[in-house]
Structure formats: C-alpha cells, structure tokens
Amino acid sequence: MTRRRLIDRLKHAFAVEDPDAFAPTDREREIAVRVCREVVRRRMTTPALMLLEMSRPMNFLGAQALHFFKPFGSVFIEAGSWEAFAAFVERRGSVEFLCRTLEDEAAAASREVETDRESDSDDAEG
C-alpha cells in the first residue's frame, strides 16, 4: 500500500460530518420541535440548554443510551418516534439544532405570554 493511499484511508476512517451542513428530515424536525415545546412548557429551557451544551461532545453516546433504553421508553412514547429521535441525536449538528429550536420555542412562548398579559390588561381597563 502506498503512503498516499494509506493517508486517504485514514482520512476516510476518521472523517466526521460537518455540523454546519446538518439538515434534519421533516420527521426529525417534527419530533425535535415536539420535544422542545414540551421542555419549554415545563419551564426547563435553561437546564436543558446547559445539559445540551455540556454534553455536545458526547451526543453519540447519548444516542446509544436512547437506543439502550428504547424498551422502557417505548412504554410512554411510540417506538418509531423514539428510534427516530435517537437516530437524530446521533448526527453531528443535532445538538446545535436542538439548542436553536429550544431558544426559538422559548422566545415564542414568552411573546405569547406577553400578548396574553397585554390583552388581559386591556380587558381590565375597558
């Protein structure tokens, strides 16, 4: 084997996806948004963002844990959605997508609360 061929094989063996080129499928996007909305509804946005940022280098291990706990998780969540979310988390860029989606959902929820407060104050004055 030539030196150049060996270098090419090693580059391929250790190649990783470009996280900037990450594009979730429609199903993955739907599941991620559903998870993020539930996190925001429970007012756990900040802890979830901290956990995601701290575990960013280990997203593949987290996905493997999701695969391991599938028999238990499928009691509460449809098995297909569980598998799709685990496959989504395996990919580089998924953590960044989840963080952005969490921030967007939290901003939308706070705008909705602010709008509700304004309409309630308008009703009280009128």
- Rounded to an integer, the average pLDDT of 21-47 is 93
Q: Where in the chain are the domains? A: 29-125
- Quick: pLDDT tens for 63-105: 999 999 999 988 888 889 999 999 999 988 999 999 999 999 9
Q: Taking the complete model, does pTM exceed 0.85, yes or no?
A: no
Nearest to 90 by CA among 10, 19, 12: 19
pLDDT at 23 over 70: yes
Q: How confident is the model at residue 35 (pLDDT cuts 50, 70, 90)?
A: very high
Alpha helices in 1-126 (DSSP H): 3-13, 26-41, 45-54, 59-68, 70-73, 79-90, 94-125
Which position has the higher pLDDT, 35 or 7? 35
Q: Are 89 and 59 in contact (CB under 8 A)?
A: yes
